[in-house]
Amino acid sequence: MRLFLAVSSLLAFSLGCALGEGEEKDAAPRADADADTDTDADSDADSDADSDADSDADSDADADADTDADTDRDDDGDGLTNAEEAELGTDADEADSDGDGEEDGAELEAGTNPTWEWSHVYAEGDYLVGDCPTPPDARSAGPTGTGSYDTSTWDAYQEGDIFDNFEATDRFGQEVTPYTFCGNYTLVTMAAEWCGPCQDLAGSMAAETEDVRAEYPNFTFYEFLYQDNYGAEPDEDVLRSWNRAFDLQGIPVVAPADNTAAWINYLNASGGIPATLLLAPDMTVIWSGVDHPREYYLYDSSSIMDAIADYER
């Protein structure tokens, strides 16, 4: 059963010697011929051995700084050496390279991505945050398919589309957006508090998650609850209640700030709920109701794993 809704100076230098003024051409040769100006057989070069003629912080004249000793330093105090930062592509002068509130060393230890602002540990929720090895091209994100119901049509995501990073908050008041899970297979589910079939799907999510993770450990649901029992945006109390009722520990249950925003329809190919979209680790849509009009939505672990297997072939 499904419910249907209305659609809304490279640096260079030179050294030179010149005869002094008035010096005789037939001046007697130096007794020690050692390139110094006295007769102590000690070259004047001794006094220059420690000079830095090229001002490059090293003691030779190759204009390359002696940085070997610097690689073991941790200039920004984030727990990573400068050499490690160079390998990771993080900023050795900035403890939090991506500006997400977590220091680079802490992110690496937690398994999140210190160069992807959406990948970080949350204070609450115990979510399976992705490390996002291949960030999506957000400039190309958006739906290219068409959803339909009766005589109405609208823009909707289809397979191959890059998913948008829309804003949503969880039951703790944290902003938990889809790109948080880049690096995982993510099943986005669109639901409403008043929807019976949505409740049925939510009730099986914990078990389905366990089943799918046995084969694909980097899998998570992303439950998008867009209406409460009165058609309004769900508040934190509603999200907490939904989470408790269906034992959705570790599964993000989120709500939009405005459930009349046009992008909400993009999630729904047929006008009915629940609606689902399966995302690849790079946030590309790999299953959509636009491409599977008779299946409506992915409803169990077998269908989810089949869709992932089809994508990986």
- Alpha-carbon span 295 to 225, nearest angstrom: 21
pTM of the model: 0.73
- By percentage, how much of the chain surpasses pLDDT 70? 73
A 10 A CB-CB count for 173 gives: 10
Q: How do residues 137-147 score in pLDDT, each as one tens digit?
A: 989 999 999 99
Residues in a beta bridge with 149: 152
- By percentage, how much of the chain surpasses pLDDT 90? 57
**pLDDT for residue 186:** 98
Instruction: Pull the structure tokens for residue 230.
Output: 């009165």
Query: Predicted confidence band at 68 (pLDDT cuts at 50, 70, 90)?
Result: low
**pLDDT for residue 215:** 97
| Contact (CB, 8 A) for 132 and 182 | yes
The phi, psi pair for 72, rounded to 5°, reads -90, 0
Q: Going by C-beta distance under 8 Å and a sequence separation of 6 or more, which residues neighbour residue 215?
A: 305
Outline where 101-256 has alpha helix (H). Answer: 104-110, 196-215, 236-245
Interhelix angle 301-312/196-215, rounded to 10 degrees, is 50
Q: How far is CA 91 from CA 36, 83, 116, in A?
A: 48, 11, 13
pLDDT at 5 over 60: no
| Contact (CB, 8 A) for 208 and 305 | no
Query: Predicted confidence band at 38 (pLDDT cuts at 50, 70, 90)?
Result: low
Question: Element (H or E) spanning 154, and its range?
Answer: strand 152-156
- Alpha-carbon span 223 to 171, nearest angstrom: 12
* DSSP of 38-73: SSSS--GGGGGTT--TT-SSSSSSSS----GGGGG-
Average pLDDT for the chain:
82
Residues in a beta bridge with 254: 224
Instruction: Of 28-37, 101-110, 165-174, give the range with the top mean pLDDT.
Output: 165-174
CA nearest neighbour of 186 among 148, 224, 158: 224
**pLDDT for residue 108:** 75
- Alpha-carbon span 67 to 229, nearest angstrom: 63
- Alpha-carbon span 219 to 182, nearest angstrom: 11
Q: How do residues 270-298 score in pLDDT, each as one tens digit?
A: 999 999 999 999 999 999 999 999 888 99
More confident residue, 38 or 137: 137
pLDDT at 96 over 70: yes
- Alpha-carbon span 242 to 236, nearest angstrom: 10
Query: Predicted confidence band at 62 (pLDDT cuts at 50, 70, 90)?
Result: low
Instruction: Pull the structure tokens for residue 223.
Output: 């439950």
**pLDDT for residue 214:** 98
Interhelix angle 196-215/236-245, rounded to 10 degrees, is 60
Contacts by 106-109 with C-beta closer than 8 Å and gap 24+? 106/78, 106/79, 108/79, 108/80, 109/79
- Alpha-carbon span 194 to 10, nearest angstrom: 69
Q: Going by C-beta distance under 8 Å and a sequence separation of 6 or more, which residues neighbour residue 214?
A: none
pLDDT at 209 over 90: yes
